[in-house]
Amino acid sequence: MKDFTLFKMFKRGGLCGLLFFFLLCAQSAFSQVVIKGRVTDAANGDPIPFASVGVIGLNYGATTNFQGEFTLHAKSMSDSLFASVVGYKKRIKWVDKKLKTIELDFQLESATKEMAEVMVYSGENPAFKILRNVLKHRAYNDRSKLESYEYSSYSKMELDVDNISEKFKDRKIMRDISEAVKKFEKLAGDDGKLVIPTYISESISKFYYRDSPQRKREHVLKTHIKGVGVKEGSVISQLVGGNLVANYNFYQSYVSFFGKDFASPIGDTWKGNYTYYLGDTVNVDGHVCYQLDFDPRNPMDLVFSGQMWIDTTSFALVQIDASVDKAANLNFIDKIKISQELEQTETGAWLPAKTRFLIDIEEITKNSAGMLLKMYISNKDFVVNKPHPLSFYDLASEVAEDAKEPDPNYWKFARHEPLSRQDLIASSLIDSVKNLPVVRSYVEVAEIVVSGFKKFNNIEFGPYINSFAINKVEGARFRLGFRTNANFDKNWIIRGNVGFGTKDLVPKYSAEVNYLFSMKKWTMAGIRHSYDIERVGLTPELIGDNKLFYAFTRWGAFSGAFFRRESEAFFTTELIKGLSITSSFHTRSFDPLFRFQYRLNPELGKASPVQDYYQESFVTLEARFARNETYIMNGNEKITLATKRIPVITFKYQRGIKGFLGGDFDYERFTLKAHQTFRLGLLGRSDYTLSAGYTPSNLPAPLLFPHLGNETFFFVRSAFSTMNYFEFVSDRYASLQLNHNFEGLFFNRLPLIKKLKWRFIASSNILMGSQRKSNQEIMKDVNNPLKSKFLDQYAFDSLDPNKPFVEVGYGIDNIFKIFRLQAFHRLSYLDHGNPQRFRLMASINFAF
């Protein structure tokens, strides 16, 4: 009837009628109410995608996007709006319904997930059919099947302080920034918790991936870094491009971060780890998707909970929101959340278009504060299956020399989305607190604890772990070391230290100068000279990178000590990606402080002259292969992040030269070492070290292969825990050291123990070795009395070539989150000397 009346009006009124109709339409349009806002997590401010926002009592609603933003149009209004999403408490807010434009933010509190009533029918869970199709179509949808891909990326990283207790607010550092904090408290809203930003970085980069052989490269083009205590060239300033560390792929069976492997809800182990609930179909950016909720079967396992959206035609993962809460067997973590939105490429495979990553680190004590790490990555301009030459990927992470870009006009147009109101205030807050003296003091203390060095502009002093020790030879040992950093010079690196003991009063020193030719190929040359006291079998080249254990060996009885004067010249370069070659020349002296002798002419037997010191000169060629190794640059130092699946293999050849610069021996030595960590599905993670060595030459025992024993109560992974110092020496050997962490596989399922988050560990060490008779003759009668004030004496015994040295261990990791306790049993050579058949060892192990 209304349509007929309007038709007659137009027919009779002509232009006037038409004008009246448009006025009615305009009145209807202008009468609409527009509500805009954002839905965030009240605890950390993280946006919540796919939350429902609606007008209570009326059929008007909207859904938040990936940034948690919504826009709602309503022809009429009630006096309240609501926001809700699975996993959070529903929130209702009152509004003035007379307003035509409303801006309203919701902060939702996390809630225990309560499922609605579920009707159970005979037959299979309908979600299972969908998941089997996801795996069936994985070869088509998974980006790892592409020959190559690349894209332009915008990354934003933020580090915040959260969970601030009232007692912590009363501390001086908080009182000094109280005015700035009040602004942020107001921004958090009536339900939001106070979150104080301390670091924000933005970057524009290009990310490249190539398969077969696998290569990654992220070239950071522009950066903008603002933070409390962040210095140019520091490690944290390098972490501006996020694609190397947050390029998560849920099609893989396990999603890895911080050394932990989390079972994917669409990986091969989906059915054993999760329960699923099929929801309604949802339109996600034009794709009609199944909504699947997933929960862990055992919340303490390394698994996720959340929601994902699967395309109904291609069975591809379109979006996922995956969280790990405090119940999981993790340390120092309140929550981990990964949100990822994927985009289909021209080949059919899907690449991550947007990723949000959040870690909520718990407060250490009730009266302290926690921390939040947030990362947002937006990718576009995808190019697939157009690989670059292999040399293009040589440098995995590269920051352009002119990357620093503070111009706000540049960033205004370079960002993929404009900064939010929270981002703008966060930037302002950092400016107001970073120069306060009390804040700078806190930052400096934190730097010393983490790096071991006290940093000035161009030079750093330390490491403090080596600054003091007490032992029977030196008395109280003092040492002061330094190194230059990239602010001094990007190519020249100078290191050195001086020290002395109050008992022996002998000055010790070291000086080193290196030159970095190329960061891309990591080509470096250098020279070093030192004079210091060492211990047989406990030298830096044998202990390796375990600096804590090396520092601890400076304490106590200090048996097996000798003075060593050493000069070294070296050159190293990366020939091809993953393959490094190092050549060096050394001269070393051996001046023992224990009863030591070796026969100069062993064929003469007891008639042979003996000597209690020696000099060696030798050249070394070393090849190290670490495929798929990822690293970052810390100024002019390289820090390895990880290698995946492939073992790291090191081969070393050493050639002694008699007569050159006083060398006493011609000899050859070959060593091979392989190290790998790998996942064993639900059983946890293992690592092994396989070593072998051989010298065909006849040499004194310290120049053979002294096996690393451990007489302390501290567990050291590279040592044999029930072997004494210098107990066995070989001229040929092979060893296998295997460690396995079952994570929470066993303890997570024990009702009274699982809350402790203990982890069961097991170890096994096997060593086969021997000495030729000719080498034994060189050291024969080593215990004969010599004129020496030192009473230490060692047999440097040989292993039986037909009898392995074997020890096994087991224990509990993660006691009070930082301690490890292990028991070791010696299973062979039980009557050799005075062995420790059983040894209980402890260590400090910081791990998530």
pLDDT tens string 762-818:
999 999 999 999 999 898 765 444 444 444 667 788 999 999 999 999 999 888 878
Q: What is the pLDDT of residue 788?
A: 43
Which carries the bigger pLDDT value, residue 695 or residue 35? 695
- Whether residue 275 is predicted with pLDDT greater than 90 in this model: the reply is yes
In order of 163, 323, 587, the CA distances from 87 in angstroms are 20, 10, 66
Q: What percent of the chain has pLDDT over 90?
A: 34
Nearest-angstrom CA–CA distance, 213 and 219:
19
Q: What is the pLDDT of residue 768?
A: 97
Other C-beta atoms lying within 10 Å of the C-beta of residue 735:
22
Q: What is the pLDDT of residue 688?
A: 93
Provide the pLDDT confidence category of residue 79 given band limits of 50, 70 and 90.
confident
- Whether residue 553 is predicted with pLDDT greater than 60 in this model: the reply is yes
Q: What is the pLDDT of residue 29?
A: 43
Are 716 and 546 spatial neighbours (Cβ–Cβ below 8 Å)?
yes
Provide the pLDDT confidence category of residue 728 given band limits of 50, 70 and 90.
very high
Burial class (CB in 10 A: 0-12, 13-18, 19+), 709: buried
What the block records as the tokens of 830 is: 């039980």
- Helical (H) or strand (E) element with 229: none
Q: For 481-496, what is each residue's pLDDT tens digit?
A: 999 988 888 889 999 9
Q: What is the pLDDT of residue 640?
A: 67
Nearest-angstrom CA–CA distance, 447 and 819:
23
Range list of H helices, 302-406 = none
Q: What is the pLDDT of residue 9?
A: 41
Angle, helix 2-13 to helix 15-30, in steps of 10 degrees: 130
What the block records as the tokens of 684 is: 């946890």
DSSP string computed for 405-445 = ---HHHHHHHSSSPPPHHHHHHHHHHHHHTT-HHHHHHHHH
- Mean pLDDT computed over 710-730: 86
Which DSSP letter does residue 686 get? E
- Whether residue 7 is predicted with pLDDT greater than 70 in this model: the reply is no
Q: What is the pLDDT of residue 181?
A: 60
Nearest-angstrom CA–CA distance, 396 and 217:
4
Other C-beta atoms lying within 10 Å of the C-beta of residue 636:
21
- Mean pLDDT computed over 440-447: 61
Determine if the peptide bond prior to 463 is cis (ω within 30°). yes
- Mean pLDDT computed over 532-550: 81
For every residue of 94-110, which 3-state class applies, written as one string?
A: ECCCCCCEEECCEEECE
- Whether residue 449 is predicted with pLDDT greater than 70 in this model: the reply is no
- Mean pLDDT computed over 516-521: 84
- Whether residue 276 is predicted with pLDDT greater than 80 in this model: the reply is yes
Q: Does domain 452-844 have CATH number 2.40.110.20?
A: no
DSSP string computed for 37-60 = EEEEETTT--B-TT-EEEETTSS-
Q: Does domain 2-108 have CATH number 2.60.40.1120?
A: yes
Q: For 93-131, what is each residue's pLDDT tens digit?
A: 888 878 888 888 888 887 765 444 444 445 788 999 999
> Which pTM does this prediction carry?
0.72
Percentage helix, strand, coil for the chain under 3-state DSSP, each rounded to 5: 20, 45, 40
Closest CA to 208 of 192, 196, 220, 195: 220
Q: What is the pLDDT of residue 10?
A: 39
Q: What length does the chain have? A: 848
Which carries the bigger pLDDT value, residue 412 or residue 509? 509
Which carries the bigger pLDDT value, residue 714 or residue 445? 714
- Whether residue 14 is predicted with pLDDT greater than 90 in this model: the reply is no
- Mean pLDDT computed over 637-657: 80
Q: What is the pLDDT of residue 793?
A: 61
For the chain, the farthest-separated pair of C-alpha atoms sits apart, in whole angstroms, at 136
Averaged pLDDT of the chain:
82
Are 36 and 420 spatial neighbours (Cβ–Cβ below 8 Å)?
no
Contacts of 370 (CB under 8 A, 6+ apart): 161, 162, 163, 334, 360, 361, 362, 363
- Whether residue 137 is predicted with pLDDT greater than 90 in this model: the reply is yes
- Whether residue 21 is predicted with pLDDT greater than 50 in this model: the reply is no
Which carries the bigger pLDDT value, residue 61 or residue 657? 657
- Mean pLDDT computed over 61-88: 83
Q: What is the pLDDT of residue 352?
A: 94
What is the β-pairing status of strands 287-296 and 305-311?
antiparallel
- Listed as own residue / partner, the contacts of 706-712 with beta carbons closer than 8 Å and 24 or more positions apart are 706/536, 706/537, 706/542, 706/796, 707/537, 707/733, 707/735, 707/767, 707/769, 708/537, 708/538, 708/542, 708/543, 709/537, 710/841, 711/836, 712/552, 712/841
- Sign of CA pseudo-dihedral 92, 94, 99, 102: negative
Which DSSP letter does residue 797 get? B
Are 338 and 356 spatial neighbours (Cβ–Cβ below 8 Å)?
yes
- Mean pLDDT computed over 28-40: 74
Q: What is the pLDDT of residue 372?
A: 81
Nearest-angstrom CA–CA distance, 784 and 559:
18
Closest CA to 537 of 556, 555, 558: 558
Q: What is the pLDDT of residue 198?
A: 77
User: In this structure, which amino acid lies at residue 744?
Assistant: G
Beta-bridge mates of residue 460: 455, 483
Are 224 and 205 spatial neighbours (Cβ–Cβ below 8 Å)?
no
Contacts of 673 (CB under 8 A, 6+ apart): 649, 650, 651, 689, 690, 691, 692
What the block records as the tokens of 333 is: 């973590």
Domain locations along the chain: 2-108, 146-245+387-451, 452-844
Q: What is the pLDDT of residue 185?
A: 55
- Sign of CA pseudo-dihedral 610, 612, 617, 623: positive
* C-alpha Rg value of the chain to the nearest Å: 33
Q: Do domains 2-108 and 452-844 have the same CATH topology?
A: no
Terminal CA-to-CA distance of the chain, rounded, Å?
71
- Whether residue 569 is predicted with pLDDT greater than 90 in this model: the reply is yes
- Mean pLDDT computed over 371-395: 88
Provide the pLDDT confidence category of residue 520 given band limits of 50, 70 and 90.
confident
Nearest-angstrom CA–CA distance, 596 and 701:
10
Least confident among 117-126, 162-171, 191-200, 407-416: 117-126
- Whether residue 653 is predicted with pLDDT greater than 50 in this model: the reply is yes
